[in-house]
């Protein structure tokens, strides 16, 4: 027998032992394999910036690939197998060996049951938390030790975007579709703001996620996941639109307040309990009841949305703390602290149950922070925080309104403390979770792309190279002032082009050089603006995006609201 063959076979018993360890996942192995393929396909200049590939392009291994002392070996996962495969590969077996071993590995995993290879998924989302409202995203006033720890153990996505306010973000997350496909552009009807003196009549707004859309929860449920949702839904709360009818095995929708809140279905809770604590109790209970099978937990907090009410002991902690960077509101800081406590309790529960290594834990916010308006001349818009250095805040399509913190911890796959600067957006989450779970794609169009390659390697390239937003309406900021007027935008790499639809005005920003969107380069760089605008128009055409129509200020009131319907 050839020497290389003897050495390769000698490694197999060791490999078999590894396969019996908890925490093993064929999916992780495939992701690492795919990551290697992705890197092999990148341009030479990109490759030069990345760590040198090994063998098939599989990244070099480091300490995080070893079993941890406190994890009892649970940190073992695909990359360890990949290393063994690499060693065998080093004995010249190459692709044949990998194919053979992947086959063996898949069979072994199948023998252990399908549950063993599916990671649990927890998606925690704050409400109205700004991009700089976490210590690990720059705040020197707010304190978020648990979320900071989560970020240190996982990956921060620094250019992740949601919509400018609540409902459309949730519709995109749940459906995997941009707003022009769901019709959910904002909260409430278009008549929430008096647009009648403006040049354009907004597109009618859909306030409930259409019933023919399969939610991400429904697809994960079809893949064998237990699914639970506790918190703010905002996509139609009653009967057929309730999350329990949209793919969640169990759901409690909270409404209205942080103390003395209502729930649907009605649920008893101790008088005086704070909503974030109530929701976390339900979430922890759900994890404990489903710890033996894969589960999807969606925990959309109402914090830190107004009304700004918080637990007194947390307010007291901040009331004498010096302001920093436009952050100064003790009650708001206390609300953030409660969300942080919630994340900490979820992390602790995962540790207690030994689930941390096989759970993808995501934390984000639904839209930008409420603040930064005064610099826009919107003195009546109020504000409780500041998104600086980002421009404007919630309700605006400038970065302060749409850029949000996004943290993913998936032990072994996400490199601890890593950051990713690739522009990403809400519609990417649905296909990402489908891939991580091995769940079937729905029949509906999915507009985003799986971020799994980025989770393996922050410098990996996605197939698409632009993200889009389309907002054909108005959001007010006091009488006669607007946080936004109708606008569409494209972001490609460092470049962002906005087209304001009232007059066709273009604004072009280089976000790497000018994160605050202070210098409009549209006139200075007409070719760049023209190219991006053509791509934006092509996207609007392809997705059949409805456009606002001309408004006639002299028409009778009935005619105005009837136009275009
Ligand atoms: Ca919100």
Cα 442 to Cα 174, 214, 296, 420, distances in angstroms: 12, 6, 17, 28
What is the DSSP-derived secondary structure letter of residue 60? P
Output the pLDDT for position 239: 87
Q: Are 26 and 43 in contact (CB under 8 A)?
A: no
Helix locations, 41-93, DSSP H:
44-49, 78-90
Tell how far the Cα of 458 is from the centroid of ligand 1, in angstroms: 28
Q: What is the DSSP letter of 418?
A: E
Q: What are phi and psi of 75, to 5 degrees?
A: -75, -10
Please name the residues in contact with 270: beta carbons below 8 A apart, sequence gap of 6 or more.
Answer: none
DSSP 324-360: BTTB--HHHHHHHHHHHHHHHHHHHHHHHHT-GGGEE
User: In sequence order, what are the beta bridge partners of 420?
Assistant: 157
What is the whole-number distance in angstroms between the Cα of residue 193 and the centre of ligand 1?
Answer: 18
Residues annotated as catalytic are 166, 234
Q: Which of 424, 362, 406, 454 is nearest to 31 (CA)?
A: 454
Using the mean position of ligand 1's atoms as its centre, give its distance from the Cα of residue 47 in Å.
Answer: 39
- Contact, 127 vs 302, CB < 8 A? yes
Q: How far is the CA of 261 from the centre of ligand 1 (A)?
A: 17
**Closest C-alpha among 407, 343, 359 to residue 155:** 407
- What pLDDT score was predicted for residue 240? 95
- Ligand 1 center–CA 251 separation, angstroms: 19
Going from the C-alpha of 40 to that of each of 21, 27, 59, 454, 463, the distances in angstroms are 30, 20, 11, 14, 14
CA distance 416 to 409: 8
Q: Residue 349 and residue 343: Cα distance in Å, rounded? A: 10
Q: Say how many Å lie between the CA of residue 219 and the centre of ligand 1.
A: 25
- The Å distance, Cα 335 to ligand 1 centre, comes to 14
Rg (the chain; Cα; Å):
25
Give me ligand 1 centre to Cα 124, in Å: 13
Place of tokens 């759900």: 286
* Separation of CA 137 and ligand 1 centre (Å): 18
Dist. CA 365 → ligand 1 center (Å)? 8
pLDDT in the model for residue 43:
43
Cβ atoms of 441 and 224 closer than 8 Å:
no
- Of the CA atoms within 13 Å of residue 275, those in its CB half-sphere come to 31
pLDDT at residue number 88: 56
Q: Which residues of 295-328 are buried (b: 16+ CB within 10 A; e: fewer)?
A: bbbbbbbbbbbeeebbbeebbeebeeeeeeebbb
Q: Which residues contact 201 (CB under 8 A, 6 or more apart)?
A: 195, 548, 549, 550, 551, 560, 563, 564
Residue among 154, 144, 287, 296 at smallest CA distance from 220:
296
Strand pairing report for 250-255 and 262-264: antiparallel
For 539, list phi and psi in degrees, rounded to 5: -65, -45
Residue 154 neighbours by CB distance under 10 Å: 23
Backbone φ, ψ for residue 287 (5° rounding): -60, -45
Residue-level pLDDT, tens digit, the chain, 565 residues = 555 455 555 655 555 555 555 455 656 666 656 555 544 444 444 433 443 333 333 333 333 333 333 333 333 445 556 666 656 555 555 555 555 555 555 455 444 444 447 999 999 999 999 999 999 999 999 999 999 999 999 999 999 999 999 999 999 999 999 999 999 999 998 888 989 889 999 999 999 999 999 999 999 999 999 999 999 999 997 789 999 999 999 999 999 899 999 999 999 999 999 999 999 999 999 999 999 999 999 999 999 999 999 999 999 999 999 999 999 999 999 999 999 999 999 999 999 999 999 999 999 999 999 999 999 999 888 899 999 999 999 999 999 999 999 999 999 899 999 999 999 999 999 999 999 999 999 999 999 999 999 999 999 999 999 999 999 999 999 888 999 999 999 999 999 999 999 999 999 999 999 999 999 999 999 999 999 999 999 999 999 999 999 988 777 766 666 544 4
Q: Map tokens 């029949």 to a residue.
A: 443
Residue 422, both tokens: 């690739």
How many CB atoms are located within 10 Å of the residue 253 CB?
A: 22
Packing angle, helices 78-90 and 94-111, rounded to 10? 150
Compute how many other C-beta atoms are within 10 angstroms of the C-beta atom of residue 3: 9
If you measure from the C-alpha of residue 170 to the centroid of ligand 1, how many angstroms do you get, rounded to a whole number? 9
Tokens describing residue 509:
């920003």
Distance CA 519, CA 502 (A): 21
Q: Count CA atoms closer than 13 A to 89's CA, side-chain side.
A: 17
Helix, strand or coil, per DSSP, at residue 321:
coil
If one counts every other C-beta atom within 10 angstroms of the C-beta of residue 64, the result is: 14
Separation between Cα atoms, residue 333 and residue 330, nearest integer Å? 5
What spacing in Å lies between the alpha carbon of 305 and ligand 1's midpoint? 7
Neighbours of 2 (CB within 10 A): 9
Please tell me whether residue 84 adopts helix, strand or coil conformation. helix
Instruction: Report the distance separating Cα 525 and Cα 538, nearest Å.
Output: 20
Compute, in angstroms, the gap from residue 131 CA to the centroid of ligand 1. Answer: 13
Strand pairing of 226-231 and 295-300? Answer: parallel
């Amino acid at each position: 027998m050839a020497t290389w063959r003897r050495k390769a076979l000698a490694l197999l018993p060791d490999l078999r032992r590894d396969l019996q360890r908890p925490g093993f996942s064929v999916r992780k192995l495939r992701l690492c394999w795919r990551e290697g393929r992705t890197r092999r396909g990148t341009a030479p200049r990109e490759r030069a910036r990345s760590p040198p590939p090994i063998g098939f392009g599989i990244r070099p291994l480091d300490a995080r690939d070893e079993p941890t002392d406190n994890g009892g070996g649970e940190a073992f996962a695909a990359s360890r197998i990949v290393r063994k495969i690499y060693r065998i590969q080093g004995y010249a077996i190459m692709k044949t060996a990998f194919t053979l071993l992947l086959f063996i590995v898949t069979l072994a995993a199948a023998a252990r049951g399908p549950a063993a290879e599916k990671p649990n998924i927890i998606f925690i989302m704050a409400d109205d938390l700004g991009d700089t409202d976490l210590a690990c995203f720059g705040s020197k006033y707010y304190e978020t030790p648990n979320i900071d720890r989560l970020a240190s153990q996982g990956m921060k996505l620094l250019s992740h975007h949601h919509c400018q306010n609540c409902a459309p973000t949730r519709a995109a997350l749940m459906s995997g579709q941009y707003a022009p496909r769901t019709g959910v552009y904002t909260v409430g009807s278009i008549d929430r703001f008096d647009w009648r003196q403006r040049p354009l009549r907004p597109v009618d707004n859909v306030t409930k996620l259409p019933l023919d859309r399969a939610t991400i929860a429904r697809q994960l449920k079809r893949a064998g996941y237990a699914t639970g949702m506790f918190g703010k839904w905002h996509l139609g709360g009653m009967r057929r639109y309730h999350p329990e009818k949209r793919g969640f095995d169990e759901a409690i929708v909270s409404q209205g307040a942080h103390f003395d809140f209502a729930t649907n279905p009605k649920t008893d809770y101790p008088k005086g309990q704070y909503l974030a604590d109530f929701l976390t109790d339900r979430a922890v209970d759900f994890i404990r009841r489903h710890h033996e099978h894969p589960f999807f937990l969606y925990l959309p907090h109402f914090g830190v949305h107004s009304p700004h009410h918080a637990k007194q002991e947390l307010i007291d902690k901040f009331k004498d703390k010096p302001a920093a960077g436009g952050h100064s509101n003790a009650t708001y800081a206390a609300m953030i602290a409660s969300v942080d406590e919630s994340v900490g309790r979820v992390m602790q529960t995962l540790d207690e149950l030994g689930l941390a290594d096989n759970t993808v834990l995501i934390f984000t916010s639904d839209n930008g922070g409420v603040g930064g308006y005064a610099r826009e001349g919107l003195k009546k818009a109020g504000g409780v925080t500041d998104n600086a250095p980002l421009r404007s805040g919630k309700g605006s399509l400038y970065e302060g309104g749409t850029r949000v913190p996004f943290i993913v911890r998936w032990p072994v796959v996400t490199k601890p403390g890593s950051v990713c600067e690739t522009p990403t957006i809400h519609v990417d989450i649905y296909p990402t979770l489908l891939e991580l779970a091995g769940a079937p794609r729905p029949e509906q169009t999915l507009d985003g792309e799986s971020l799994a390659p980025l989770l393996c390697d922050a410098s990996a390239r996605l197939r698409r190279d632009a993200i889009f937003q389309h907002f054909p309406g108005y959001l007010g900021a006091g009488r006669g002032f607007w946080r936004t007027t109708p606008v569409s935008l494209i972001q490609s790499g460092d470049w962002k082009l906005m087209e304001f639809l009232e007059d066709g005005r273009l604004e072009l920003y280089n976000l790497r050089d000018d994160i605050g969107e202070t210098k409009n380069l549209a006139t200075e760089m007409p070719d760049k603006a023209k190219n991006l605008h053509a791509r934006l128009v092509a996207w609007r055409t392809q997705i059949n995006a409805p456009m606002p129509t001309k408004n006639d200020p002299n028409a009778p009131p009935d005619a105005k609201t009837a136009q275009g319907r």
